Amino acid sequence: MAKDKTVYTCSECGGSTPKWQGKCPNCGAWNTLIESVAEPAGAARNRFASLAPASEVAVLADIEAAEVPRTPTGIAELDRVLGGGIVAGGVILIGGDPGIGKSTLLLQAVDGLQRTGVPALYVTGEESGAQVALRSRRLGLDHSQVKVLAETQLEKIQATIAAQQPAVAVIDSIQTVYSEQLTSAPGSVAQVRECAAHLTRAAKSGGTTIVLVGHVTKEGALAGPRVLEHMVDTVLYFEGDTHSSFRLVRAIKNRFGAVNEIGVFAMTEKGLKGVANPSAIFLSQHSEPVPGSCVLVTLEGTRPMLVEIQALVDSGGPSPRRLSVGLDRDRLAMLLAVLHRHAGVACMDQDVFVNAVGGVRISEPAADLAVMLAIASSLRGRALPKGFIAFGEVGLAGEVRPAPRGQERLREAAKLGFSVAVVPKANAPKGGRDFEGLTIHPVERIEQALEVVRGLG
Ligand code: TYD
Ligand code: MG
């Protein structure tokens, strides 16, 4: 195949140059030039122009708002994050650490689809066909009719997709695919972007659903899935601690459904199994309460979940450390300042570590109160009472703000047998401190929350 001309495009200013240089000749930025295929003269400058079919201008109200038809994968937790199932011509990116279960989940999903008569193609660039077959046997997918192609060259993959016309094609992984048009190594930003753009175009024009697998990489030669987020329709990320058996799949972008929905799975001997009722899996089982632990009721997507927040406050050196796992570190610094300023809890000369149990990542501010109570508990060396939960956002002025859908959170905690709750006043049920067996302590300020906790023992 004749090679198109390649140019080097600056990721900062968008200018291009025919030769690679360390410094962009247009804007002077360093290390921003990325190899790309030069557009033939006269072609649209926008490389994504062909992704959206050209159409007439129409009045919004006149456009028929048809629901996109979806094909369920049959894996309920996956369908939940996808917004019901896969969409023809949709492009899904699934990111996650190596070994977390991406290939396992996708093989299970395409096999399920194939069994309902949806033709599926699994392109493997990381493993041989035999390895994929071995995994399918392990997963108990006997007599699977899924078509497998062990190939890494983009042009051949495209030709196969065009010839086979599968309804769904998995590319595992996009970082192993390379195009002959570029001289950059497979996995480089240039290759990953170029190949993903071609496959996206193929999806849109042929109506095939394309699933791109992307390994999250630490800084280095391999481009991570983040560089593709803007071109795909749906972005899912695997979360979870590879040491625990639970895995979360979170939708962070979805043109066809709600975001921040999560699917919960357990990795078993026979692959990933959906966990339909995940609310209690992120609790570590202490027989007696321990200092520095507070259970948070968090709302992930549409389901409340209980997650244990652990804090360890320990005397630090001259520049004490603040570390967090599963929680935002900047927010931790802010909460420590609020604790000091408004509640007189000083950790200035202490190392502070906080951790959300089970490798779950918590981004909602409603975790603030639980984080602060865990820190105060660790600092004082006194455990929170047995059966205790908390949630609520804490502002810079020390005020405790309500969390969305407080009643649902309380109901879930009550259902799991928790007995005491410190919650924002606006989330407390009106009239009475008892809620389905939970004793509710409404608070308006952080110092008040600490006082309530002290009073409880
Ligand atoms: P894999 O899907 O290969 O991860 P990824 O594609 O994200 O790199 O999952 C690999 C891990 O899952 C591996 O450590 C073995 C484990 N596993 C099971 O525990 N049970 C199974 O049935 C399978 C297939 C894998
Ligand atoms: Mg894999």
pLDDT at 39 over 70: no
Tell the residue nearest (CA) to atom 22 of ligand 1.
Answer: 271
Tell the residue nearest (CA) to atom 1 of ligand 1.
Answer: 101
- 164: tokens are 């086979």
95 Cβ below 6 A of ligand 1: no
Residue 12 CA to ligand 2 centre (angstroms): 32
Residue 79 CA to ligand 1 centre (angstroms): 20
**Percent of the chain at pLDDT exceeding 70:** 95
* pLDDT confidence bin for 1, thresholds 50/70/90: very low
Closest listed residue to residue 342, CA positions, set 394, 393, 398: 398
Angstrom distance (rounded) from CA 40 to CA 5: 8
- 186: tokens are 């497979």
Residue to substitute in 104, 173, 273 for testing ligand 1 pocket (most ligand atoms within 8 angstroms of CB): 104
Per-state percent for the chain, helix, strand, coil, to nearest 5: 30, 30, 45
In DSSP notation, 308-375 reads: EEEEEEEE--SS--EEEESS-HHHHHHHHHHHHHHH----TTEEEEEEEGGG-----GGGHHHHHHHH
Overall average pLDDT of the 316-331 stretch: 91
Residue 359 CA to ligand 1 centre (angstroms): 17
Of 122-136, 225-239, 369-383, the range with the lowest mean pLDDT is 225-239
How far is the first Cα of the chain from the last one, in angstroms, to the nearest whole number? 77
Overall average pLDDT of the 201-219 stretch: 90
Overall average pLDDT of the 296-305 stretch: 86
pLDDT of residue 42: 47
pLDDT at 290 over 70: yes
pLDDT at 138 over 70: yes
Angstrom distance (rounded) from CA 199 to CA 91: 9
Residue 210 CA to ligand 2 centre (angstroms): 16
CA of 102, nearest ligand number: 1
Inter-axis angle of helices 368-380 and 446-455, to 10 degrees?
A: 50
Average pLDDT, the chain: 89
- 236: tokens are 């899912």
pLDDT at 45 over 80: no
* pLDDT confidence bin for 258, thresholds 50/70/90: confident
Q: What Å distances lie between residue 191 and 66, 92, 153, 169, 198, CA to CA? A: 36, 18, 11, 19, 11
pLDDT of residue 48: 55
Entry pTM: 0.79
* Neighbour-count burial for 15-52, b at 16+ CB within 10 Å, e otherwise: bbeeeeeeebeeeeeeebbbbbbeeeeeeeeebeeeee
Q: Tokens 């079919």 label which residue?
A: 53
Sign of CA dihedral 313, 317, 319, 323: negative
pLDDT of residue 49: 56
Tell the residue nearest (CA) to atom 10 of ligand 1.
Answer: 99
* pLDDT confidence bin for 4, thresholds 50/70/90: low
Do 230 and 222 meet the contact criterion of CB atoms below 8 Å apart?
no
* pLDDT confidence bin for 262, thresholds 50/70/90: confident
Angstrom distance (rounded) from CA 148 to CA 146: 6
Q: Tokens 């804490």 label which residue?
A: 394
pLDDT at 140 over 90: yes
CA of 98, nearest ligand number: 1
Angstrom distance (rounded) from CA 377 to CA 394: 17
Q: Which residue has the higher pLDDT, 195 or 256?
A: 195
Element (H, E) at 192: helix 189-206
Highest mean pLDDT among 29-33, 39-43, 180-184, 337-341: 337-341
pLDDT of residue 410: 94
Overall average pLDDT of the 60-64 stretch: 83
Overall average pLDDT of the 312-340 stretch: 93
406 Cβ below 6 A of ligand 1: no
Tell the residue nearest (CA) to atom 17 of ligand 1.
Answer: 271
253 Cβ below 6 A of ligand 1: no
- 423: tokens are 């919650």
Identify any residues that bridge with 234 across adjacent strands, giving them in sequence order.
Answer: 92, 254
Ligand 1 atom nearest residue 102's Cα = 7
Do 161 and 169 meet the contact criterion of CB atoms below 8 Å apart?
yes
Closest listed residue to residue 377, CA positions, set 261, 262, 291: 291
Residue to substitute in 105, 174, 239, 267 for testing ligand 1 pocket (most ligand atoms within 8 angstroms of CB): 267
pLDDT at 46 over 80: no
Tell me the three state secondary structure of residue 31: coil
pLDDT at 219 over 70: no
Angstrom distance (rounded) from CA 294 to CA 247: 22
pLDDT at 3 over 80: no
175 Cβ below 6 A of ligand 1: no
**Percent of the chain at pLDDT exceeding 90:** 62
98 Cβ below 6 A of ligand 1: yes
Tell the residue nearest (CA) to atom 23 of ligand 1.
Answer: 271
Highest mean pLDDT among 49-53, 283-287, 362-366, 414-418: 362-366
pLDDT of residue 271: 92
Angstrom distance (rounded) from CA 316 to CA 350: 5
* DSSP assigned state of 30: B
pLDDT of residue 226: 86
Residue 384 CA to ligand 2 centre (angstroms): 42
Overall average pLDDT of the 292-300 stretch: 92
- 127: tokens are 């493993």
* pLDDT confidence bin for 220, thresholds 50/70/90: low
Of 33-37, 288-292, 435-439, 440-444, the range with the lowest mean pLDDT is 33-37
pLDDT at 283 over 60: yes
pLDDT of residue 13: 82
Overall average pLDDT of the 47-75 stretch: 77
Tell the residue nearest (CA) to atom 25 of ligand 1.
Answer: 271
Residue 244 CA to ligand 1 centre (angstroms): 13
Tens-digit pLDDT profile for residues 165-201 = 999 999 999 999 999 999 888 889 999 999 999 999 9
Q: What is the CA radius of gyration of the chain?
A: 26
140 Cβ below 6 A of ligand 1: no
